[in-house]
């Protein structure tokens, strides 16, 4: 079935995925008619899953009812602390059962949740807390240790709550003194959550971007942004079934091994929201480790996992993989970084699982496009077509001219998932959010059916003597080499050409390849000027930020010798 026919069938009047047009900040916008109204309504829905396991970490298991009681109790406590509608509550912790409790306690009383990057240093955490104007701060013991030396500067924080501290900390309140440990949440009072009037387009979250230059910007998201993702995920799955000519099955709970940090919109918006709605289970890991992951997949019959492509590669290539029963895996998804076409095929051939990816960003509260199953196998370099409530355009440098099908330009996106603005940054907001559209900074093209192909970040494109070199194109060529499992193309300075492409490569265990071999490999597949002028090999997979993006600026030092020669 064509994309157009599948979308029309799924969004017909009276259907689950019916759409309607509402005005959001003055812009008429298609929305999912049957999406939950707000996070409070979703929270109430989650309670109907009762004793089903909601979150797991090691030996800790928390049911939906336990989660509800913990979050409702904390919500009342926050109100008692003076937290009201529009107030910001910042929190920073690793993936713990407390994370969703804190998130829903904040958002269901109309306050704004500020999930801070748990990988940040003390100075970076201080920046996020000060920038958001948080009234209350909730951290785990590890994050407290980082922020302790910065507390005097945080004059706006009225309450500091610490979770999982081995000993009392002066000047703070233990989260356990408010709601207890996860094991006893089920014994908390069986009372309703606080009721606050919330509009779908009220502010709900501030997620900080993973910008690699300057200070991160806080993307101000709404309840509608988050609720949109629930329906978008369901729509994309249903579209896949129709495309292959199969009946759409009834939704059934699934078990997911969640290795993406929850402070990332992919894990929170695209993951947690659907889990709450569908009664599925999220398993957390303290740290990604392939053998432990395989043990969990086998023991808990995990249906879905993923994160960044590196995780999929490590599962595929681990020498102990044959010792574990991983047959429960139905799909492996990833985002945050381009993936090799070879990986798409291997997931299907080796696991019998369907690969999936999609495109989104912090400014879109995750999902705008979704790509899975046969469509992904047939178009392994695409990020998929947009969901029905989203529109995509490829525009020229002027930000106005819409380019024809197949031409590369900047990707613009529109829909009810686009966040409101950047927190307290009017100039950056005006540049990025225009009449309901977000200008993404991604260079992309669309094909005749609407599938999008991300070719590069505009700032990562290498311009060699006036010729554009899209890093993803060269990276995909390198990924086709059987020895390459992780790679990145960066630009290094050249006195006359401006810059040239260079490659950083991580090889598969037990495999070898030389610089000359890889350069020749690329030249056989692409124009000669796109071949890397230098290749550096690294023993570990490439450095990434918490959102899975390769930290290309950290790789430039590997070519310091060439930079000096070129200059």
Q: Express each pLDDT in 369-385 by its tens digit.
A: 999 888 888 898 899 99
The three-state secondary structure class of 328 is coil
Residue 27: predicted pLDDT: 97
What's the DSSP call for residue 325? -
Residue 308: predicted pLDDT: 73
Residue 338: predicted pLDDT: 56
In a domain, 467, yes or no: yes
Residue 212: predicted pLDDT: 47
In a domain, 443, yes or no: no
Residue 564: predicted pLDDT: 43
In a domain, 495, yes or no: yes
In a domain, 278, yes or no: no
560: domain CATH number? 3.30.300.30
The total of structural domains in the chain comes to 1
Residue 567: predicted pLDDT: 36
CA distance 42 to 37: 8
The torsion region of residue 147 among left (phi > 0), alpha (psi -120 to 50) and beta comes to alpha
In a domain, 360, yes or no: no
Please list the ranges in the chain whose pLDDT falls under 70.
210-214, 335-339, 547, 563-567
CA distance 388 to 168: 51
Residue 337: predicted pLDDT: 55
Residue 251: predicted pLDDT: 86
In a domain, 84, yes or no: no
Range of the domain at 469: 461-566
In a domain, 473, yes or no: yes
CA distance 312 to 290: 10
Residue 16: predicted pLDDT: 96
Residue 350: predicted pLDDT: 85
Of 313, 373, 310, 375, the C-alpha closest to 337 is 310
Residue 389: predicted pLDDT: 98
Helix axes 515-523, 471-479, angle to 10 degrees: 110
In a domain, 42, yes or no: no
3-class secondary structure per residue, 139-162? EEHHHHHHHHHHHHHCCCCCEEEE
């Amino acid at each position: 079935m064509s994309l157009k026919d599948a979308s029309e069938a799924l969004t017909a009047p009276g259907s689950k995925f019916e759409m309607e047009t509402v005005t959001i900040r003055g812009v008429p916008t298609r929305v999912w008619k049957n999406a939950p109204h707000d996070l409070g309504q979703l929270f109430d829905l989650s309670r109907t899953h009762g004793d089903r396991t909601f979150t797991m970490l090691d030996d800790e298991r928390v049911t939906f009812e336990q989660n509800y009681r913990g979050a409702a109790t904390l919500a009342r406590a926050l109100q008692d602390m003076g937290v009201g509608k529009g107030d910001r509550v910042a929190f920073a912790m690793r993936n713990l059962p407390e994370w969703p409790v804190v998130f829903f306690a904040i958002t269901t009383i109309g306050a704004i949740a500020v999930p801070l990057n748990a990988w940040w240093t003390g100075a970076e955490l201080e920046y996020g807390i000060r920038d958001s104007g948080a009234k209350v701060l909730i951290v785990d013991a590890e994050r407290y240790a980082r922020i302790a030396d910065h507390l005097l500067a945080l004059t706006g924080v009225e309450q500091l709550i610490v979770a999982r501290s081995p000993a009392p900390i002066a000047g703070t309140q233990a989260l356990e003194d408010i709601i207890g440990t996860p094991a006893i949440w089920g014994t908390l009072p069986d009372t309703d959550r606080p009721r606050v009037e919330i509009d779908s387009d009220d502010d709900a979250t501030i997620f900080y971007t993973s910008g690699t230059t300057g200070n991160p910007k806080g993307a101000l998201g709404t309840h509608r942004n988050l609720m949109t993702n629930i329906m978008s995920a369901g729509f994309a799955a249903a579209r896949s079934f129709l495309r292959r000519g199969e009946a759409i099955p009834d939704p059934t709970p699934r078990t997911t091994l969640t290795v993406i940090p929850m402070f990332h919109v992919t894990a929170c918006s695209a993951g947690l929201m659907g889990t709450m709605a569908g009664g599925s289970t999220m398993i957390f890991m303290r740290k990604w480790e392939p053998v432990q992951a395989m043990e969990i997949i086998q023991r808990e019959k995990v249906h879905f996992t993923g994160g960044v492509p590196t995780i999929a590669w490590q599962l595929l290539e681990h020498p102990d993989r044959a010792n574990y029963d991983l047959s429960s895996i139905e799909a492996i998804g990833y985002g945050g970084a381009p993936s090799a076409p070879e990986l798409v095929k291997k997931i299907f051939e080796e696991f019998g699982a369907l690969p999936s990816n999609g495109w989104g960003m912090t400014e879109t509260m995750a999902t705008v496009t979704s790509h899975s199953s046969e469509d992904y196998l047939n178009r392994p370099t695409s990020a998929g077509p947009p969901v029905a409530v989203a529109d995509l355009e490829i525009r020229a440098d002027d930000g106005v001219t819409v380019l024809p099908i197949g031409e590369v330009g900047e990707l613009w996106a529109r829909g009810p998932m686009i966040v409101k603005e950047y927190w307290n940054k009017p100039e950056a907001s005006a540049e990025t959010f225009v009449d309901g559209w977000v200008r993404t900074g991604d260079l992309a093209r669309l094909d005749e059916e609407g599938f999008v192909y991300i070719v590069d970040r505009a700032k990562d494109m290498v311009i060699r003597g006036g010729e554009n070199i899209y890093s993803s194109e060269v990276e995909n060529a390198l990924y086709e080499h059987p020895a390459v499992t992780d790679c990145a193309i960066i630009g290094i300075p050249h006195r006359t050409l401006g810059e040239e492409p260079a490659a950083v490569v991580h090889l598969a265990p037990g495999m070898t390849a030389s610089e000359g071999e890889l350069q020749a490999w690329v030249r056989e597949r692409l124009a000669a000027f796109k071949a890397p002028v230098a290749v550096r090999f690294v023993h570990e997979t490439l450095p990434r930020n918490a959102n899975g993006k390769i930290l290309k600026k950290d790789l430039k030092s590997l070519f310091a010798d060439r930079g000096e020669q070129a200059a």
